[in-house]
Amino acid sequence: PLVGTGELVARAHAAGHGVAAFNVITLEHAEAVAAGAEAAGAAAVLQVSENAVRFHGGRLGPVAAAAAAVARASSAPLALHLDHVESPELLRAAPGAGFGSVMFDASKLPYAENVAATAEAVRFGHAHGMWVEAELGRVGGKPGDPSPGRGPLDAHAPGARTDPEEAREYVAATGVDALAVAVGSSHAMTERTAALDHGLIGELRRAVPVPLVLHGSSGVPDGELRRAVASGMVKINVGTALNAALTGAVRAFLEREPRVVDPRRYLAPAREAMAETVASFLRTVSPAGGP
């Protein structure tokens, strides 16, 4: 069934376990998340990023409708989330397209502008019944802060760290429902070699009242993910690992069978490979024995 991200994350937060969120680009991604969640007996989040919407010609409707239909048809609890939204127009389109939650990403802006833009996004989101995640990534981003980490820095560069005091102030000032933090992961890693700052995760958990979100989880080894969840990380975002599984399976199939033209022949094993990846992440971060 289709459920709310807020409800899944709140339950995980209270119980001290994780909930994984997977980036959906194609119909097969969504089907693989459902199949993996059913196999693992766990709940999951289907998330569509602004980049994925751009890939689909800027149209939010078709990809959202497909993901929502897959969620409704599944026996696993699946939520629909709009990820890494920078465009205010896309944010405004989210409730009408069936999204119960959104990650508004103003992390490239200086601190004060991030706060102002995010607070406005939260007002809009809450007025439309949405759960809102936002991101504070840079170290010492406030005006006048002499920290050498100041200035635009990718929130998920390996060296980026979220400051706990700034995080506390940011959550209070914006009213966000969950906070994405920089603790050592980076987006788009194809090897699972990231080392997380577990001490910082614990400090952030104590500093902010809302659940914490880990981005770039494809590059984080299983043991590190388990420790991260144990020290307070709740929503675990995975994208690249699914694409690596998909592309690896397609590549292997077409190398073996270069004359095949029916996409179903190679998309079936690709979808299967993604489903196995989904189930594996869910077994790592979700509680044993179900959602």
Cβ atoms of residues 84 and 55 within 8 Å = no
Residue 246 CB, nearest approach to ligand G3H (Å):
12
Q: Which is nearer to ligand G3H, 150 or 187 (CB)?
A: 187
Q: Which is nearer to ligand G3H, 147 or 190 (CB)?
A: 190
Is 83 noted as a catalytic residue in this protein? yes
Q: Which is nearer to ligand G3H, 169 or 240 (CB)?
A: 240
Residues that bind ligand G3H (CB under 6 A): 23, 83-84, 187-189, 215-219, 237-241
Q: Which is nearer to ligand G3H, 125 or 219 (CB)?
A: 219
Q: Which stretch binds Zn ion (CB under 5 A): 68-76, 87-95, 214-222, 255-263?
A: 214-222
Q: Which residues neighbour 32 within 8 Å (Cβ) at sequence distance 6 or greater? A: 242, 271, 272, 274, 275, 277, 278
Q: Which two tokens stand for residue 161?
A: 């760290």
| Residue 26 binding partner per list ligand G3H, Zn ion, none, with a CB distance cut-off of 5 to 8 Å that depends on partner kind | none
Count of CB atoms within 10 A of residue 159's CB?
Answer: 11
Residue 47 CB, nearest approach to ligand G3H (Å):
7
By CB under 5 A, tell whether 81 contacts Zn ion. Answer: no
Residue nearest to ligand G3H (CB): 239
Residue nearest to Zn ion (CB): 215
Catalytic residues: 83
